[in-house]
């Protein structure tokens, strides 16, 4: 048996350290050998939670199945890991010392299949590995990550259409994972507003940010889904304090009403995530007379963000606006006069892409306008994610690409990072995919004119005003 023992001291609270380490999904962020980690039991992390971790051991990839067998907040945690080649018992203890926390990590390895005869030869390498992993944990908890730069691979992909589009698949997501910096920040006491939170990317984001301690206000359309959503969130996170607002965001009157309710509460907003959306294959207009794609995908986030601006600005730390767009926008050029499509030339996918292109441009405009107000505005696109919206609106596309689609959690990862990460609060006006800034244009012919950029906001505001004044 080999026993490893390492200690570190970090400038983080006892609670933060315990929460970060006990959620063993984070091991992939700091352990030198961990390739990925998932939680395979439902509910919040606690006694009995199980995780699967894939590790690189020399030229071999090893699957480890971990279970929390002792769980004592905020003092200690014990995990038992099993693999084909060895079992490991990890004992992690946390001790508060003023503003610092001391973490003691002890791992006992018991080898199988006669490998124990090689323990002497393995020991020095194992000790070096353990020391490197704890240095990684210290870096993660010290929260010193810098804003990611565009990798060489990404820069090459952005110069060519096919490689750039290939990055939208699950392989693009997985390619990015080993190069990521840890994200150990918690959001205790921070107010996050998320639209379109009932399923897909919005639900995955809501669960992750609830786990991170954020106070959530979720905007959903159908009141019949309220109780089911609350039950899902409580089952996944243990949280029963999540606020739900009901509004049909394709209707400007509803957008105005929900904004007024939030303004009346006078609760500052730390993060606003404009995620609500749908792809309408058939042409339709709302009861207010706006074409439905334009109304939901562009007019709605515009009015919501403008109305909530007083709750976002002039904070001690930057307020954040995150606009969820789509890779489909790469095919379209901003032409304001073409944003509202009409029959017989209506095309749902094209209307969706045009609106998302406009929202990307709008993100850049807002970032510049609101810089002095202490608000950062960024757009992100999730790649190709297998969400309920894709299944219902694009069944043929899903059938063809199903094997390479991302999960909702993978698609939502960059939203979560933009909402949480300390370093993400220092950049504004960018488009992100897989936590990397990306070019908004894969094709030069899709770059809009300065005149179209200049008239975009006024064009949207005119359409909104036309229905609110009637």
Q: What confidence tens digit (pLDDT) does each residue in 106-163 have?
A: 999 888 876 665 666 667 777 888 899 999 999 999 988 888 777 777 777 777 767 7
pLDDT in tens, 220-270: 999 999 999 999 999 999 999 999 999 999 999 999 999 999 999 999 999
Two tokens at 463?
A: 């359409």
* Cα separation, 92 vs 250, whole angstroms: 50
pLDDT of residue 115: 66
C-alpha to C-alpha distance for 404 and 425, rounded to whole angstroms: 31
Averaged confidence pLDDT in the chain: 93
- pLDDT at residue 96 greater than cutoff 60: yes
pLDDT band with cut points at 50, 70 and 90 for residue 425? very high
Q: Which residues, other chains included, contact 249 with Cβ-Cβ below 8 Å and sequence gap of 6+?
A: 195, 196, 219, 221, 255, 258, 276, 296, 300, 304
In the predicted model, is pLDDT for residue 286 greater than 70? Answer: yes
* Closest by CA position to 130, among listed 90, 93, 75: 90
Check residue 119 and give its pLDDT.
Answer: 60
The tens digit of pLDDT for each residue in 36-53 reads 999 999 999 999 999 999
The mean pLDDT value for 272-299 works out to 97
| Cα–Cα distance for residue pair 188/166, rounded to 1 Å | 37
Within 8 A by CB and 6+ apart from 404, the residues are 169, 170, 171, 384
Active site residues: 352
Residue range 358-382, pLDDT digits in tens: 999 999 999 999 999 999 999 999 9
DSSP state of 285: B
Contact 258, 245 (CB under 8 A): yes
Please report the pLDDT score of residue 453 as a whole number. Answer: 98
Q: Could you tell me what percent of the chain has a pLDDT over 90?
A: 77
Residues 56-86 have pLDDT tens digits of 877 788 999 999 999 999 999 999 999 988 8
Q: Take residue 76 and report the two structure tokens written for it.
A: 């200690």
Element (H, E) at 174: helix 170-176
pLDDT band at 272 (very low <50, low <70, confident <90, very high): very high
What average pLDDT score do residues 409-418 get?
97
Q: Can you tell me the mean pLDDT for 284-292?
A: 97
Average pLDDT of the residues in 330-335: 96
Place of tokens 């976002």: 312
Tokens representing 50? 């199980």
* pLDDT of amino acid 417: 97
Q: Is the pLDDT of residue 179 over 90?
A: no
Rounded Cα gap, residues 219 and 195, in angstroms: 5
Q: State mean pLDDT over 159-180.
A: 82
pLDDT at residue 315 is higher than 90: no
The counts of H helices and E strands in the chain are 16, 15
Tell me the CA end-to-end span of the chain in Å, nearest whole number: 78
Helices marked H in 196-275: 200-211, 226-237, 252-265
Angle between helices 300-312 and 348-369 (to 10 degrees): 20
Contact 373, 314 (CB under 8 A): yes
Tell whether the model's pLDDT for residue 457 goes beyond 70.
Answer: yes
The predicted model gives 412-428 an average pLDDT of 96
Cα 400 from chain centroid (whole Å):
26
Sequence-distant (≥ 6) Cβ neighbours of residue 203 within 8 angstroms: 197, 229, 232, 408
Contact status, residue 193 vs residue 271, Cβ threshold 8 Å: yes
Tokens 């995530």 label which residue? 273
CB of 417 within 8 A of CB of 435?
yes
Q: What is the pLDDT of residues 200-221, one digit of tens each?
A: 999 999 999 999 999 999 999 9
């Amino acid at each position: 048996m080999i026993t490893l023992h390492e200690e570190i001291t970090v400038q983080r609270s006892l609670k933060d350290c315990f929460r970060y380490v006990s959620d063993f999904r984070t091991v992939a962020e700091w352990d030198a050998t961990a390739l990925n980690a998932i939680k395979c039991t439902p509910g919040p992390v606690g006694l009995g939670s199980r995780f699967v971790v894939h590790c690189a051991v020399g030229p071999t990839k090893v699957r480890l199945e971990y279970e929390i067998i002792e769980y004592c907040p905020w003092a200690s945690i014990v995990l038992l890991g099993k693999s084909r080649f060895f079992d490991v018992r990890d004992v992690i203890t946390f001790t508060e010392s003023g503003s610092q926390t001391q973490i003691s990590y002890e791992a006992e390895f018991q080898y199988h299949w006669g490998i124990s005869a090689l323990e002497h030869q393995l020991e020095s390498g194992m000790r070096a590995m353990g020391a490197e992993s704890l240095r990684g944990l210290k870096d993660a908890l010290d929260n010193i990550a810098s804003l990611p730069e565009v990798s060489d691979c990404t820069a090459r992909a952005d110069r060519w259409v096919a490689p750039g589009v290939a990055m939208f698949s699950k392989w693009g997501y997985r390619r990015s994972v080993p190069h990521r910096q840890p994200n150990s920040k918690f959001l205790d006491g921070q107010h996050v507003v998320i639209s379109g939170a009932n399923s897909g990317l919005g639900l995955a984001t809501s669960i992750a940010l609830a786990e991170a301690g954020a106070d959530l206000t979720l905007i959903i359309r159908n009141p019949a889904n309220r109780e089911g959503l609350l039950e899902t969130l409580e089952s996944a996170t243990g949280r029963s304090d999540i606020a739900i607002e009901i509004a049909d965001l394709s209707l400007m009157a509803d957008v105005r009403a929900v904004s007024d309710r939030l303004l009346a509460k006078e609760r500052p907003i730390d993060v606003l995530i404009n995620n609500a959306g749908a792809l309408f294959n058939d042409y339709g207009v709302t009861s207010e007379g706006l074409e439905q794609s334009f109304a939901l995908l562009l007019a709605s986030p515009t009015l919501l963000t403008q109305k909530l601006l007083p709750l976002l600005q002039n904070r001690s730390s930057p307020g954040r606006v995150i606009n969820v767009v789509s890779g489909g926008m790469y095919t379209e050029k901003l032409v304001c006069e073409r944003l509202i499509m009409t029959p017989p030339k209506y095309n749902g996918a094209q209307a969706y892409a045009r609106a998302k292109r406009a929202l990307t441009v709008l993100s850049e405009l807002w970032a510049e306008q609101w810089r002095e107000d202490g608000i950062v505005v960024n757009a992100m696109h999730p790649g190709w994610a297998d969400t309920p919206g894709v299944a219902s609106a694009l069944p043929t596309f899903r059938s063809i690409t199903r094997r390479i689609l991302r999960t909702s959690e993978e698609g939502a990862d960059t939203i979560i990072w933009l909402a949480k990460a300390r370093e993400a609060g220092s950049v504004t006006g960018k488009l992100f995919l897989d936590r990397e800034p990306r070019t908004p244009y894969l094709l030069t012919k899709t770059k809009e004119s300065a005149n179209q950029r200049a008239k975009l906001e006024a064009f949207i505001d005119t359409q909104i005003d036309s229905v609110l004044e009637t």
